[in-house]
Structure 1
Amino acid sequence: MTILSIQHLNFGFRGRTLFKDAQMTIPLPGIFGLAAPAGSGKTTLFNLISGLLPSTGVIRLFDTPITPAVVSQNVAYVPNTDNAAGMLRGSDYVAFIAAAQRITRQRQTAVLHTLGVDDFARQRLSRYTPGMRQRLQMALVLLLDRPLNLLDEPLDDVDPASLTTICDAISQLGRAGKTVIVSTSQPDRLVTVTNTMFVFAEQQILEVPSGGTDDLTSASDQRFFK
């Protein structure tokens, strides 16, 4: 069973073509990186996989074309909290997601403690640092407990303690047999969790050969991060 299959993906925005007949396949569970510059379409790709944006391509999850029901059952993707109401507390956001998904209070407490979110959950989102925001995002993904997890730049611009905590949580998902796609505009941070990377080039989604930072740096010097 193929985890994710994208075929003939076409998508443009405001006169700019982001993907043109693009392909992407993840055949087996694991942790995968998606490295591309800011504004190049990483969040857009996650929105397409989640069915939040329409495309002319064919996207399948676990060999099934995406529908709202298929996405709901299989994908954990929580859009960035930057657009959340400034007066909203982290605990309010968690409670909203938990109520919608019928997640027990016991599980909420355990996950928030694992990510250290319980230390600042009562603070307003408008006061969160980048590290606090990404810990909260990671906690929400863990609460959803889906086989495919889309993480939008969870490692970028966070403090060292948050980086370690989030990397540990990502590794935990991998050990549990989940599939994780981690996007970033700072590819050097991705090698802490995976050597399997995808990049954008010429409106395509390409897999970079395993080998860590050296291969990715070489590739980025030529096409990907220019």
Structure 2
Amino acid sequence: MLNTGTLDASANGNTVNYYKAGDQLIKTPTANTYYNLTLSGTDIKTLTDNIIIDGNLTISGVTFNVDMYNISIRGNWINAGVFEEQTALVTFDGNASQTITNALGETFYNLTINKSAGNLILNDNITISDTLTMTTGNVNTGANIITLGTSTANPGTLIYNSGTVIGKFERWITTTAYPYLFPIGTESNYRSARATFSNITGAGGSIIS
């Protein structure tokens, strides 16, 4: 692997594969941009800076440690390993449809959807443990669920500007009586719901719309 000098990895169709049997640091390329990034081999592959992925991210049988750095991705997210989300932000901002695949379900700490065209398509369940920001663009869950928060003690935060969840959206509800937005609808119609609870007994729970 390149240890010194400059790594230009952004050419259309290019793939960089970190495949060493052992831990590796992911080099920061020119303009922080990879086209396709593949992580394979064994052990832990660790980010050393924020990165942009113009194509696909593939995690194959290894652990991807973001080390609190952020990722902007414009292609597909394919995880057949372990993603250690830390407190990082992952932004899906491609101008065509993108997919998220992890048979065990994927967890993000902060997730932003900022798509000028196409949908973010869930091939499996995803959870956002802290903040979901919907700037623009739809999420198509299919038979899967997008969950905000992990418990009544950690219900997560929704920052909403535009976009629709087409499918199932789960939110954790606490005893706080503020309106909970469910930005659901169809491809062509936004049919959101706001739920306000004034007499919650017990610790709360979750609701799937």
Return the TM-score normalized by structure 2.
Answer: 0.28
> Which one has a larger percent strand, Structure 1 or Structure 2?
2
Return the TM-score normalized by structure 1.
Answer: 0.27
Q: Which has the higher contact order (CA 8 A, sep 6+)?
A: 1
> Which one has a larger percent helix, Structure 1 or Structure 2?
1
